[in-house]
Amino acid sequence: MNLHIPNRFHVTTVVGLQYGDEGKGKIVQGLASSGLYNISARFNGGPNAGHTIYYKDKHKVVTHVIPTGVIAGIPINFIGPGCVVDPVLLKKEIEELMALGINHKTIYLSELVHLITPYDRKIDAEMNKAIGTTGRGIGPTYAHKTHRIGINIALCLEKGSEELVSEYFFKLADVYRQDWISVSPKDHEEWIDSLDWILENINIAKKNFFFSDGEAHGLLRGDPIPLVLAEGAQAIMLDNTYGTYPFVTSSNCLPSAVYSGLGLPGNAKLEKVIGVFKAYNTRVGEGPFSTEVLDGVAEPIRIAGCEFGSTTKRPRRIGWIDLAELRYAVELSGATELYMTKADVLSPRVVDEVRVCTSLNSGGRPRSWKTFEPFVTTGVKKPMHINGSLHQFIVFLEEQLGQHIPKVSLGVLADDLVSTRAESVR
Ligand code: IMP
Ligand code: MG
């Protein structure tokens, strides 16, 4: 008998270090296109996420739950058990990809994902106004999963979705006792039809997907080592436990969530943790934001950085890097490397100076700052081009955060990701 289960998984995870929208989608797209990975996966969150990427450098695509690897042609794109999925939105997302000629047959949806229903969306909209959620039903769906009244795909396949969703409605009516818990027959039907479409058109992955006798190994036949690129959604400061609770999302956003969120064995190797942060900071929704800019400096940054929610279109709140907070996220994530994005936004056309908050007062507002000249980034394509205040900024952050920043993003296209040192050109 072979008692040894070999440790064969190698995992890279990409997580946001601020409040989401750090530009993870673009970073993941670059990694997915590198040819280094054969599995791309989402392990947390759902359609609250919005990752903006450019397909073939021209078509703007916003993915919500589909792993970015689909677009880069990775052979297995797994939506893991840690995610929640709304069949209506997932169907629309897949149809958009199909319209661009992208192969959706590489998507594997775990039978353990919990399903967001129109009821969950309604509960989110009615009860979570103070948090400023995306209104996608994320919190209620995770809550009902934990409350053991939720619906997952495995249960739908076993019992039938029509019957389950009616049962779910009665349970919710009992729990909430609110007369607004109802949905129109049209929404109900659309949900059932979309789920049926997904069950017919998308591969459903069993809970043993990554086991030695599971489907993933079979699919990787000629390429036996699973090299997983795990794409985090939301960010450390929105983590349900370690973020600015209660102004957080409802899933775990830490790199360690890849284990439970994908069903990976505990001895899988989390080799690389790439922490992504913007050269400034944004937040969408309510909650504390120490460095928030409340004067006229915010609007030019919002416009230059297109800082409007990719899921909800809400204008994002604008602020600067809070060094202590970023250090907290770097430590907690265990980031092995840091990628800084959107440095090009802080150009002399947009700002008079770039700020980093170096300490807060007892009221949680900035007490001291370090300032830099705006960044001139036109024509910066190689490490040797990075000089002046951008170079000073990178060196300062590396010293303060105790971690390297091998790459900096200076635009929306894949080509705009520049290595900061000759030795990190890969
Ligand atoms: P929920 O995840 O929709 O429940 O929203 C909870 C909080 O997380 C709100 O402040 C949202 O604006 C924020 N949030 C959720 N997903 C994202 C995201 O992908 N980017 C940025 N903020 C997000
Ligand atoms: Mg986003």
- Of 14, 63, 120, 133, the residue with max ligand 1 atoms within 8 A of its CB, to mutate for a pocket test, comes to 133
22, 68, 124, 284: residue to mutate for ligand 1 pocket, most atoms within 8 A of CB: 284
The alpha carbon of 234 and the centre of ligand 1 are apart by a number of angstroms equal to 7
Task: Quickly list H helices, 6-103.
Answer: 24-32, 69-72, 87-99
Band (215; pLDDT cuts 50, 70, 90): confident
* Ligand 2 mean position, distance from CA 64 (Å): 8
Overall average pLDDT of the 201-217 stretch: 90
Q: Which ligand is nearest to the CA of 243?
A: 1
Q: Which residues pair with 344 in a beta bridge?
A: none
CB-based contact 75:103 (threshold 8 Å): no
pLDDT at 171: 94
In 3D space, the residue among 118, 170, 161, 160 whose CA is nearest the CA of residue 140 turns out to be 118
Residue with CA closest to ligand 1 atom 22: 20
Q: How far is the CA of 210 from the centre of ligand 1 (A)?
A: 29
Count CB atoms within 10 A of the CB of residue 280.
25
Atom of ligand 1 nearest to the CA of 128: 4
Q: Are 253 and 233 in contact (CB under 8 A)?
A: yes
pLDDT above 90 (res 327): yes
Q: Is residue 360 within 8 Å of 366, Cβ to Cβ?
A: yes
pLDDT, position 294: 95
Q: Which residue has the higher pLDDT, 109 or 313?
A: 109
Q: How confident is the model at residue 401 (pLDDT cuts 50, 70, 90)?
A: very high
Mutate to test the pocket of ligand 1, among 17, 19, 48, 145 (most ligand atoms within 8 A of CB): 48
Asked if residue 423 has pLDDT above 70, the reply is no
Of all protein residues, whose CA lies closest to atom 11 belonging to ligand 1? 133
Nearest ligand 1 atom to the CA of 251 is: 2
Neighbouring CB atoms inside 10 A of 224's CB total 9
For ligand 2, the distance from its centroid to the CA atom of residue 50, given in whole angstroms, is 4
Residue 4 has pLDDT above 60, yes or no: no
316 CA → ligand 1 middle, Å: 11
Give the mean model confidence (pLDDT) for residues 60-67.
92
Least distant ligand from the CA of 63: 2
**pLDDT tens column, 108-166:** 999 999 999 999 999 999 999 999 999 999 999 999 999 999 999 999 999 999 999 99
Active-site residue, 104 included: no
Write down the pLDDT at residue 324.
Answer: 97
Which carries the bigger pLDDT value, residue 51 or residue 238? 238
pLDDT of residue 412: 85
In this prediction, residue 238 carries a pLDDT of 98
Q: How many CB atoms lie within 10 A of CB 245?
A: 11
Mean pLDDT, the chain, whole residue set: 93
pLDDT at 210: 87
CA-based end-to-end distance of the chain: 43
| Percent of the chain's residues with pLDDT above 70 | 97
Burial class for 220, CB neighbours closer than 10 Å (0-12, 13-18, 19+): middle
Question: 312 CB contacts (<8 Å, ≥6 apart)?
Answer: 134, 135, 284
Q: Which amino acid is at 402?
A: G
- Ligand 1 is surrounded, with C-beta below 6 A, by 19-21, 48-50, 131-134, 136, 138-139, 233-234, 238, 249-250, 284-285
The per-residue pLDDT for 424 is: 53
| Ligand 1 centroid – CA 359 distance (Å) | 26
Q: Supply the pLDDT for residue 341.
A: 97
Residue 361 in tokens = 């007062």
Dist. CA 134 → ligand 1 center (Å): 6
Selecting among 4, 10, 21, 144, the annotated active-site residue is 21
pLDDT tens-digit map of 78-103 = 999 999 999 999 999 999 999 999 99
What confidence category does residue 315 fall into, taking pLDDT thresholds of 50, 70 and 90?
very high
Band (62; pLDDT cuts 50, 70, 90): confident
Give the number of the atom of ligand 1 that is nearest the alpha carbon of residue 135: 3
pLDDT of residue 1: 47
Please pick, among 4, 51, 86, 104, the residue that the annotation labels catalytic: 51
Give the 3-state secondary structure of residue 193: helix
Pick the residue whose CA is nearest to atom 5 on ligand 1: 133
Structure confidence at residue 267 (pLDDT): 87
196 part of the active site: no
How far apart CA 403 and CA 417 sit, in angstroms, is 18
Whole-angstrom CA distances from 134 to 65, 183, 248, 280, 309 are 14, 19, 11, 22, 9
pTM (2 decimals)?
0.95
Q: What is the pLDDT of residue 59?
A: 86
Residue owning the nearest CA to atom 10 of ligand 1: 285
